[in-house]
Chain A
């Protein structure tokens, strides 16, 4: 039985890669957007660009996964193809996990490209295992966040629009551009409530501080966020088929 579910999750993720992710909306939001930002930062201050790499990676993680998720669930709900998936021996939970996994894989691909390019170009020497320990759960967290927004609304464009608010907040509050410590106290508090903060912190630790306790802490917080996003997303999708 569980083999059925695993198989379902895997093939749904794979099919999504093939049908949606390598299409214009996913590409523009998921890849071009972070790349454009990276370029903009680089052109502004080529000197201390290296310091910005963790933030840019975090942003790539955030945008690639959420952009993908915003498209895949609503699209399929509207076309009735998601129902088609449920007619196979695949549970609603597995369908959602397959979708999240697809977003994760797409994000992983994008993030790996950006990471490899910036590391090689700048000659950085991050702790690769530490980097993976933060990037992988982060990709899952934001893929789940995208899924949660996606199942909360009816239309594809609503999900994209609705996602812009937290994405915007996170880019400015979570240390992507400005360090969290430079923010006013109130905003610092807000930053603590946003998952991207822990992605940025964790990535910074893996790039500049080596593997330390901070890394583990960030990893744990990210796992908590993963559960906070994933469970309600599954629940909301179930509700659509009552």
Chain B
């Protein structure tokens, strides 16, 4: 990487105290500046993971800055977990490079682990141990000073609302409590970077809401957070920036506002047909000219861009030619969901129906 090279070069120059002769170009100064004050928390370049023939993560490059909440948004099976597993050293990439907190992977992963907290997609503490013992075990494993182990554990139990249950076995906890304690355990060594893999998936609405509150509060404490989700609202609510992931590829990285802006300048019309039009999508698309169609399900479509009168004409013509009635037509205020539809061409129904699906879980080694 050019940057690392330049940085090494600068270090060498500094050592020989001849830097002043060379550092003239503004660019070089700028790079040095970035490096000294704002190390990226995560940096990847063409990171790739294959499982046999399947390209689960396809040459992804992105940067996460310190202090931000960066979200990976994508449907199940899009490669979110596979990416996290590579970044935390649980699996090895086939191609590409990554560094976290300035430590290169995989060589320096062990050093990096001290400063990184990870919550995988399952709550994986010990059922047999009490909440407190789980936290203490993790504290010891990370080498938290003996005199701080208890006080940190107590504080986290209080922060996460689990203090009353500190002596109960983890196995007896509800899903939401398990998830909360798993996150608490990931914070016991006071990491600078936290990975959260689908933190609210499988939780009821109230538990999810309270967990989102907790996550926002962690950011306020200066923690950098990398989280994955397939909930658009969650990404919108929590993240400073979002990378949209489809079939292992990053198709867009932007702020939630930026993503919405993509669609806000355009007209957006939704039609509901009286019956299934999934066999006729090609026909409909041909009639629309420059406008784009995204199907919400087999009988609902949203159309972006184009000239509204022309779109109405085209769709009415389509409806007459195919003998399919139109049940409703409306213009819509664009949301992040629309940005997502527009960018990925994927229906959000895909995100919805796959959430309880059997794929992607289990079978992972």
* In the complex, residue of chain A having the shortest beta-carbon distance to the beta carbon of B129: A19
Q: A240-B365, A241-B91 are in contact. Are A89 and B120 (CB under 8 A)?
A: no
B120→A241 contact, CB < 8 A: no
Query: A residues within 8 A CB of B143?
Result: 3-4, 7, 89
Stretch binding the partner chain, chosen from B13-21, B134-142, B153-161, B331-339: B134-142
* In the complex, residue of chain B having the shortest beta-carbon distance to the beta carbon of A84: B124
Stretch binding the partner chain, chosen from B110-118, B205-213, B254-262, B311-319: B110-118
A4-27 at interface with B (beta carbon < 8 Å): 4, 7-8, 11-12, 15, 18-20, 23
B9 within 8 A of A: no
B274 within 8 A of A: no
Nearest CB of chain A from residue B139's CB, rounded to whole Å: 10
Q: A81-B126, A242-B91 are in contact. Are A90 and B141 (CB under 8 A)?
A: yes
A153-187 at interface with B (beta carbon < 8 Å): none
Query: B residues within 8 A CB of A240?
Result: 365
Nearest CB of chain A from residue B191's CB, rounded to whole Å: 10
Nearest CB of chain B from residue A238's CB, rounded to whole Å: 11
B173-206 at interface with A (beta carbon < 8 Å): 186
Q: What is the interface of chain A mostly: helix, strand, loop, or mixed?
A: helix
B119-156 at interface with A (beta carbon < 8 Å): 120, 122, 124-129, 133, 137-138, 140-143
Q: A87-B118, A91-B110 are in contact. Are A80 and B126 (CB under 8 A)?
A: no
Q: A18-B129, A80-B122, A81-B125 are in contact. Are A11 and B140 (CB under 8 A)?
A: yes
Query: B residues within 8 A CB of A115?
Result: none
CA distance A242 to B106 in the complex (A): 12
Nearest CB of chain A from residue B110's CB, rounded to whole Å: 5
Query: A residues within 8 A CB of B88?
Result: 87
- Total chain B interface residues with beta-carbon distance under 8 A: 28
A50 within 8 A of B: no
A88→B138 contact, CB < 8 A: yes
B216 within 8 A of A: no
Residue in B91, B133, B365 whose Cβ sees the most chain A Cβ within 10 Å = B365
Contact code string B294-320 (vs A, CB < 8 Å = 1, else 0)? 000000000000000000000000000
CA distance A85 to B143 in the complex (A): 13
B350 within 8 A of A: no
Q: A79-B124, A240-B365, A241-B91 are in contact. Are A88 and B129 (CB under 8 A)?
A: no
B113→A242 contact, CB < 8 A: no
CA distance A155 to B137 in the complex (A): 25
Interface size class of A (residues with CB under 8 A): 20 to 34
Contact code string A123-138 (vs B, CB < 8 Å = 1, else 0)? 0000000000000000
CA distance A238 to B277 in the complex (A): 51
Query: A residues within 8 A CB of B91?
Result: 241-242
Nearest CB of chain B from residue A87's CB, rounded to whole Å: 5
A85→B141 contact, CB < 8 A: yes
A45-93 at interface with B (beta carbon < 8 Å): 79-81, 83-91
A87→B90 contact, CB < 8 A: yes
Query: B residues within 8 A CB of A11?
Result: 137, 140-141
A89→B124 contact, CB < 8 A: no
A1 within 8 A of B: yes
CA distance A90 to B142 in the complex (A): 8
* In the complex, residue of chain B having the shortest beta-carbon distance to the beta carbon of A12: B141
B345 within 8 A of A: no
B90→A89 contact, CB < 8 A: no
Query: A residues within 8 A CB of B138?
Result: 88
Query: B residues within 8 A CB of A7?
Result: 140-141, 143
* In the complex, residue of chain A having the shortest beta-carbon distance to the beta carbon of B182: A84
A1→B110 contact, CB < 8 A: yes
Q: A residues engaging B (CB < 8 A)?
A: 1, 3-4, 7-8, 11-12, 15, 18-20, 23, 79-81, 83-91, 240-242
Q: List the 10 closest A-B pairs by CB distance, nearest first.
A: A80-B124, A89-B113, A88-B141, A19-B128, A84-B124, A87-B118, A11-B140, A80-B122, A81-B124, A240-B365
Pairs across A and B, CB under 8 Å, 18 listed: A3-B143, A4-B143, A7-B140, A7-B143, A11-B137, A18-B133, A81-B125, A83-B124, A84-B124, A87-B89, A87-B113, A87-B116, A88-B141, A89-B110, A89-B111, A241-B90, A242-B91, A242-B92
